[in-house]
């Protein structure tokens, strides 16, 4: 898979896709949606769609695609190249969501949680297929959160296609299995060849699985703490594991939106009994509004 677009800039979102097979513009198509790398504290999350004409579904099944989790990395690579050989009737597209995009979404002033991010990304990819002229009639999605509400939302957004959202859809529908293989191949390759934005000293690429409970991953996180900046952007700062390590091993940081809450806390009751006369007069509003204070000592 050619990830050179991602290597150029991996701080945001990156979309990659195959050309649309001509037959997919004419014949009614099934489309599967799946994701890889949702749980890990390291690296991107990848969302993928895969589609083919309903009439060729048997040919896709004949490739023996299966849930990507039950396949070895080699088998996934092999299946993906077979799908590439079948590009006259199989198409795919994917979104690589960088760890930086995930962190900044989840830690925004208005929190944008991972489920919403996932749902919106999946909708975006289905819309992309439609915009490219793929004649999508049926969509199968591996669920994130409750399948019923997710299905309802997608069905509302795409009233002209039949949407099926199910847990374990990647094991039930070959077109979702195919999507899961695309996603996993891209995620594995992206992690392996990750271009660090930072100039990290003594970079260790033995991350372990990237899952927060993997001792190797935890050791990697601890080793790469930078006291001021925290971690390289390869780390999802919004993960509890990452935050816990920062709390212990990095300097504290107060943001303007977190500070406001604390300052407005109640005054100590004894403060009302203290003579006001001892307190210095606050500076004029002109200076307060500009964050200026007079300094009398260094």
Tell me whether residue 58 or residue 298 sits nearer to other proteins (CB atom): 298
256 binds other proteins (CB under 8 A): yes
Residue with Cβ nearer other proteins (7 or 251): 251
* From 20-28, 43-51, 125-133, 280-288, span contacting other proteins (CB under 8 A): 280-288
> Dihedral (C-alpha) 36, 37, 39, 44: value to the nearest 10 degrees?
-140
| Residue 234 backbone dihedrals phi, psi, to 5 degrees | -65, -20
Which residue's CB is nearer to other proteins, number 254 or number 269?
Answer: 254
Nearest to 220 by CA among 199, 242, 198: 242
Minimum CB distance to other proteins, residue 226 (Å): 6
Does 160 appear as a known binding residue?
no
238 sits near other proteins (criterion: CB under 8 A):
yes
Size of interface with other proteins, in residues (CB under 8 A): 45
Binding of residue 226 to other proteins (CB under 8 A):
yes
Whole-Å CA distances, 260 to 70, 112, 144, 264: 49, 21, 34, 6
x/- letters, 89..128, toward other proteins (CB under 8 A): -----------x--xx-xxxx-------------------
Is 256 annotated as a binding-site member? no
10 binds other proteins (CB under 8 A): no
Distance CA 174, CA 182 (A): 12
Under 8 Å CB-to-CB from 130, ≥6 apart: which residues?
Answer: 136, 158
For the bound state, the minimum distance from the C-beta of residue 11 to other proteins, rounded and expressed in Å, comes to 6
E strand residue ranges, 64-184: 91-97, 136-142, 162-166
* Among the listed residues 204, 253, 201, the one whose alpha carbon sits nearest the alpha carbon of residue 227: 253
Measured in degrees and rounded to the nearest 5, phi and psi for residue 53 equal: -65, 145
Among 68, 121, 180, 233, binds other proteins (CB under 8 A): 233
- The annotation status of 249 as a binding-site residue, yes or no, is no
The window from 56-64, 138-146, 212-220, 278-286 that contacts other proteins (CB under 8 A) reads: 278-286
Phi, psi of 235 (to 5 degrees): -95, 140
Binding window for other proteins (CB under 8 A); candidates: 24-32, 52-60, 210-218, 233-241: 233-241
Q: In whole angstroms, give the CA distance from residue 279 to residue 292.
A: 18
* 260 near other proteins, judged by CB under 8 A: no
- CB closer to other proteins out of 121 and 238: 238
Write out the binding residues for a divalent metal cation. 34-35, 142
């Amino acid at each position: 898979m050619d990830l050179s677009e991602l290597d150029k800039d991996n701080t945001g979102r990156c979309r990659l896709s195959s050309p649309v097979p001509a037959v997919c513009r004419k014949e009614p198509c099934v489309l599967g949606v799946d994701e890889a790398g949702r749980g890990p504290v390291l690296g991107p999350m990848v969302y993928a769609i895969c589609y083919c004409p309903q009439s060729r579904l048997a040919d896709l099944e004949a490739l023996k695609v299966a849930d990507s989790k039950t396949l070895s990395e080699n088998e996934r690579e092999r299946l993906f190249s077979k799908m590439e050989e079948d590009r006259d009737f199989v198409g795919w597209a994917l979104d690589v969501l960088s760890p930086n995009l995930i962190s900044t979404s989840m830690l925004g002033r208005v929190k944008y949680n991972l489920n919403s991010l996932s749902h919106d990304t999946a909708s975006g990819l289905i819309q992309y297929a439609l915009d490219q002229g793929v004649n999508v009639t049926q969509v199968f999605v591996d669920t994130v959160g409750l399948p019923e509400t997710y299905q309802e939302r997608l069905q509302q957004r795409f009233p002209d296609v039949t949407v099926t959202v199910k847990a374990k859809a990647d094991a039930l529908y070959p077109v979702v299995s195919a999507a899961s293989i695309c996603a996993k191949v891209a995620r594995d390759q992206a992690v392996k060849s990750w271009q660090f934005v930072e100039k990290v000293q003594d970079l260790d690429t033995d991350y372990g699985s990237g899952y927060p409970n993997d001792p190797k991953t935890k050791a990697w996180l601890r080793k790469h703490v930078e006291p001021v900046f925290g971690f390289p952007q390869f780390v999802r700062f919004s993960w509890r594991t990452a935050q816990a390590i920062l709390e212990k091993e990095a300097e504290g940081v107060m943001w303007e939106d977190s500070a406001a809450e604390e300052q407005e806390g109640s005054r100590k009751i004894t403060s009302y009994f203290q003579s006001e006369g001892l307190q210095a007069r606050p500076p004029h509003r002109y200076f307060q509004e500009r964050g200026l204070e007079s300094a009398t000592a260094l």
